[in-house]
């Protein structure tokens, strides 16, 4: 019986997982190729447990995969899990992209011609 909901879990979805700057940094490093945990620890200057914890979150939402190699675990990016974010934010691209301004011109143009065609009011 859940009565209170404080805040969505970071493991709820990619949006939450990626809201943390450190985790975005981790992904940015992994974008350059798979890496064992210690490499990430060194490159990010974080403590090892923190990195492991962030990796766990990223794992749970499927943004990264792990592969065991001897005593180390090599993490690899799975960018596909970020697609929902891209798909969502893409719809707002109109707000800043010049490309869409051009598109708008075309659409307005089409609309005018349409209205000229049939005298449909409203």
The interface mask with a second copy, positions 76-105, x = CB under 8 A, is -xxxx-xx-xx-xxxxxxxxx---------
- Among residues 72, 76, 68, 65, the alpha carbon closest in space to that of 37 is found at 72
- 3-class SS shares of the chain: helix, strand, coil, % to 5: 60, 10, 30
Pairing of strands 64-69, 35-36: unpaired
| Residue tagged 């990223």 (tokens) | 58
| Among 21, 45, 70, 117, interactor with a second copy by CB under 8 A | 21
Q: Is 7 in the site for DNA (CB under 7 A)?
A: yes
* Main-chain dihedrals φ then ψ at residue 7, nearest 5 degrees: -165, 145
Cα–chain center distance at 79: 8
48 binds, among a second copy, DNA, none (CB under 5 to 8 A by kind): DNA
- CB nearer to a second copy: pick between 4 and 92: 92
3 binds, among DNA, a second copy, none (CB under 5 to 8 A by kind): DNA
| Among 24, 56, 67, 76, interactor with a second copy by CB under 8 A | 24
Q: Is 20 in the site for a second copy (CB under 8 A)?
A: yes
Sign for the CA dihedral angle at 63, 68, 71, 72 comes to negative
Residues that bind a second copy (CB under 8 A): 7-8, 15-16, 18-21, 24, 27, 31, 77-80, 82-83, 85-86, 88-96
């Amino acid at each position: 019986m859940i009565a209170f909901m404080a805040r969505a879990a970071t493991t709820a979805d990619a949006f939450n997982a990626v809201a943390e700057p450190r985790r975005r940094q981790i992904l940015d490093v992994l974008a350059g190729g798979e890496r064992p945990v210690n490499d990430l620890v060194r490159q990010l200057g974080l403590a090892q447990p923190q990195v492991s914890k962030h990796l766990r979150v990223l794992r749970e939402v499927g943004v990264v995969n792990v592969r065991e190699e001897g005593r180390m675990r090599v993490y690899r990016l799975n960018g596909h899990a970020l697609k929902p974010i891209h798909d969502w934010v893409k719809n707002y691209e109109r707000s800043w992209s010049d490309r869409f301004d051009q598109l708008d011109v075309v659409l307005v143009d089409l609309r005018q011609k349409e209205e000229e065609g049939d005298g449909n009011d409203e």
